[in-house]
Amino acid sequence: MLYKELAKNYERLEKTTKKLEKRDILAELYKSCDDETLYKVVLLSMGVIYPHGELELGIAEELMKKIIVKALGITEKELEKKFKEKGDLGLATEEFVEKRRQATLMKRELTVDMVFDNLRRIAEISGEKSQEKKA
């Protein structure tokens, strides 16, 4: 499953306050997954990457901002301004990504497996300078 399909479903969930509608969106999403992807999608939907909280990503907001700045080639000031305007780091980032997407074509599309596996790799980084390595 392409990660953008999962993201579209998250957007649908975000737009409704109705519990039954949310249930239906998730049920439809889960039905579209093969067994291996379903496991990962369920965990991601719960906001975790390990079922019993064995490991967490360990990325605080400030580190996430540094990662976004580095990945998108923007300045911290630009991100801060947009963050204050939007009130949400994800929405601020999304606007920069949209502008960037118009300028360049992505070489390969992300899949749920790729995103999930990379999140687990990040969570497993520990020790000295682990925050720098995660970025």
Query: Looking at the domain assignment, is residue 56 inside a domain?
Result: no
Parent domain of 99: 61-134
Q: What is the mean pLDDT of the chain?
A: 83
Query: Looking at the domain assignment, is residue 16 inside a domain?
Result: yes
Task: For residue 111, report the phi and psi dihedrals to the nearest 5 degrees.
Answer: -110, 165
* Cβ burial 58-93 (10 Å sphere, 16+ → b, else e): ebeeeebbbebbeeeebeeeebeebbeeeeeeeebb
Q: Specify the DSSP class assigned to residue 45.
A: H
- Nearest Cα residue to 122 out of 110, 111, 135: 135
pTM reported for the whole predicted model: 0.67
pLDDT-derived band at 22, boundaries 50, 70, 90: very high
Tell me how many domains the chain contains. Answer: 2
My answer on whether 71 and 100 are in the same domain is: yes
